Amino acid sequence: MIKLSVLDQSPVSEGFTPADALQNTIELARLADKVGYERYWIAEHHAIVTLASPAPEILIARLGAETSGMRIGSGGVLLPHYSPLKVAENFRMLHALYPGRIDLGIGRAPGSGGLEAFALRRDRSDRIQNDDFEAQLVELLAFLHHEFPPEHPFARIKVSPDMPGAPEVWLLGSSSWSSSVAAKLGLPYAFAHFITPEDTSMCLENYRSNFQRSKYLDHPRAIVSPGVICADTEAEAKRLFPSTSRANA
């Protein structure tokens, strides 16, 4: 059975404001919840005037209060910009507010141009920013699930709020690299078909073939994310397409 979900970039349509875009996201989430969608994810983009959500965790908190049945989460938090502990705290807070409903989708892309990505960095040395992404992801999982070995100094850190359970972590990607890491760590995987549709089959097969059972997941679990325009008629969808194309440019 195919389950439908939404990945929302909060696009700012021509002639409207970012505030309008955020209100559209809230209204769409209410509708998706009402008609039975599985989950609703908020994307992260920075300094892009046609996309209104640079901080998915803030919008997720609002959507949790506006919905009741479907899962809500990030699609995704761009981990190279942040410390794993801070991401763990943000999403443990959301988990405490909406237990059993929070997804933490993690991405490696900058979600911006080069200058904006540099401005977001705390460490502005010559080190390649995402060269330790897998180590960051493992550290984040350890904070969320209390998995540091006893001799590790971070084992003494109590991540608050400390509630039973944890957000469900998904690895997002659009390449064989991300599918390999998701398989190696035994994480569910979301593939960005709308970015690299030609690689979808290959990456999903790579993920399934190399999946290693983990404490998080005992079998491969994947999402495919195509780009979709919804309207009452084909003519209206074609009218909306140019604005959508500019938002994703």
- Cα 55 from Cα 107, distance rounded (Å): 14
Residue 247 has pLDDT above 50, yes or no: no
Instruction: Give the position of tokens 């999402």.
Output: 223
| 3 state DSSP class of 52 | coil
Domains of the chain, residue spans = 6-247
Worst-scoring range by mean pLDDT, 6-15, 55-64, 119-128, 186-195?
119-128
Residue 248 has pLDDT above 60, yes or no: no
Q: Which residues contact 247 (CB under 8 A, 6 or more apart)?
A: 9, 11, 12, 13, 50, 51
Residue 246 has pLDDT above 60, yes or no: no
Q: If one looks up domain 6-247 in CATH, what number appears? A: 3.20.20.30
Residue 201 has pLDDT above 80, yes or no: yes
Report, as an integer, the average pLDDT of 131-160.
Answer: 95
Do 176 and 203 touch, CB atoms closer than 8 A?
Answer: yes
